[in-house]
Structure 1
């Protein structure tokens, strides 16, 4: 019988003073972000010898930080918090700084996800809504040019009235553009951006609703990175489920 491979601890990173809630690799693999109930976001740098060094401790949030996610093409980091806000960070002059604060949710922001282009950011909240944020073209050009004023993101769509309890997670398919949510009402919902939607005032439609996807809260949803339409979900009921979604033509 072939012996099962075992995990080996390479290193342990310490420093947070409370529960660490989320961890995320930058696309380059050279940076790692962590966040915690201690209200902080830490950025770690990884060298060629796999040594980890904390290069910044960001204390921009006033409450627990629930989730961190990197921009798909840039070293731009986003975090979601119990303080009802989203923060964006980038490196400036060898230090990491908060370059934007996204406000609009009226309760805890649980999770967030960039679309494939990185031009849009979806956030989900205890206020039962999804929000879609977009950086305007002029601001994107400033960002490419290294401007210090590249911070403004605007909410271009609020999806309200669809969820009946806390929205715990959101996942944006980088293959199809489909947007999935996992909710405390045990349901999974999928949204699609309407064709011809105004980039500055986007509209999305609900295209799929699984009302009893699980028997308890849906904590996380994740699209497969290479197989279009394959969605995984997990729940307080102890189960994982896999769904095949067919986009409307």
Structure 2
């Protein structure tokens, strides 16, 4: 059997605007999307169709760039070009805006929850990364502002099981942060991309980090072990996927169920890569397993693997639509 990526559903999510991002609820029962129409939409499957359960339209004044579910699934955070981050609390099939996080000088480009649910990270065009602490009363306090990048920060993502944070920037770099003496600091700077780094994704164990960018490559970084005589917290590039994408790679997602790597590209392509099991783990090799060259009619902005169902992939595009795919592999 050949590896395949087959379309299951396709629907208009944000008519007449870009759909920037999609995020699965931790249980996989809902899908949140956001777009240029300033709204967040919550989708659920009814029978064979996807239906909009809720539209959150009163939180932001400009484009909503990213959404992120809390690990418990009861909260949704949204990052907007209006320089704010909204925290929404789920109440049955409805959501209320619990609080608005302010402080960034410009557009907030991304928001991400730590695995504990007690920390939240935001990043902005103002070149900063903010760490927020959440208490039991749902109060949010900024506990650290880190200025390790020299340009617009595009993306932040937490390590899957440690309080370690990674950020990607227009300055071509990836930064890794850790808390030291009650303050957050940059522990490692990953250099290798020759243009803007758009997105990041950790593997299941958090031992490797995938990055993608404007230079049309995907890079795989591995944390150095103490035996490798490297500085504490250092990361090294162990693999570069080049020659596969014709335009900017906007998003990368590592499937924690199968180990497959998906990418969203400005050439309208959705690609899935698999790791060669026969290769040396110190020098991993990834090959193109499946490719849909005309996934949408415009740029593909996001790829998101379902957290519970193996091989289920959601994508979204500049044309405002969401597509749901089924990836099947012969291995």
TM-score computed with the length of structure 1 as normaliser: 0.94
Q: Deviations over 1:22-72 (max 9, x none)?
A: 000000000000000000000000011111110000000000000000000
Contact 2:208–2:221 (Cα < 8 Å) also in 1: yes
Q: What RMSD, in angstroms, separates the aligned Cα atoms of the two structures?
A: 1.7
- Whose strand proportion is higher, 1 or 2? 2
- Superposition deviation, residue 197 in structure 1: 2.2
Q: 2:235 is matched with which residue: 148, 153, 164? A: 153
> Equivalent residue for 1:37?
125
Change in Cα spacing, 1:23 to 1:141, as seen in structure 2 (3 Å) is farther
CA distance in 2, matches of 1:66, 1:139: 33
> Whose relative contact order is higher, 1 or 2, with alpha carbons under 8 Å and at least 6 apart?
2
* Among candidates 186, 190, 194, match of residue 98 of structure 1: 186
Q: How does 1:175-194 map to 2 (within 5 A)?
A: 175-194=257-276
Q: Could you tell me which runs of 5 or more consecutive residues in structure 1 were left unpaired when the two chains were aligned.
A: 143-148
| In structure 1, distance between residues paired with 2:168 and 2:177 | 12
Give 1:101 deviation, angstroms: 0.2
SS of 1:245's equivalent in the other structure is strand
Q: 158, 165, 189: which one pairs with 1:70? A: 158
* 1:139/1:150 contact within 8 Å kept: no
Contact 2:224 2:233 (C-alpha < 8 Å) held by counterparts: no
CA deviation after TM superposition for structure 1 residue 198, in Å: 1.7
Q: Please state if 1:137 is matched with 2:219.
A: no
Instruction: Give 1:225's aligned residue.
Output: 307
State whether structure 2 residue 196 is matched by structure 1 residue 108: yes
Q: Displacement, 1:136?
A: 2.6
| Aligned match of 2:142 | 54
- Cα distance in 2, alignment partners of residues 43 and 18 from structure 1: 16
Deviation at residue 105 of structure 1 after TM alignment = 0.2
- Please report the TM-score for the alignment, with normalisation by the length of structure 2: 0.71
Contact kept, 8 Å, 2:104 with 2:126, in 1: the verdict is: yes
The separation in 1 between residues aligned to 2:272 and 2:234, in whole angstroms, is: 27
Residue equivalent to 2:247: 165
Name which of 204, 208, 216 aligns with 1:128.
216
- Structure 2 unaligned segments of length 5 or more: list them: 1-52, 55-92
In 2, the alpha carbon distance for the partners of 1:120 and 1:139 equals 17
Following superposition, the deviation at residue 201 of structure 1 comes to: 1.2
Aligned to 1:22: 110
Give, in whole Å, the separation in 2 of the partners of 1:160 and 1:139: 30
1:79 aligns with 2:167: yes
Query: For 1:95-139, what per-residue CA distance to the aligned partner results, in whole angstroms no more than 9, with x for missing partners?
Result: 100000000000000000000010110000000000000013327
The Cα shift of 1:248 comes to: 2.6
How far is 1:247 from its partner? 1.6
**Cα offset for 1:196?**
2.7
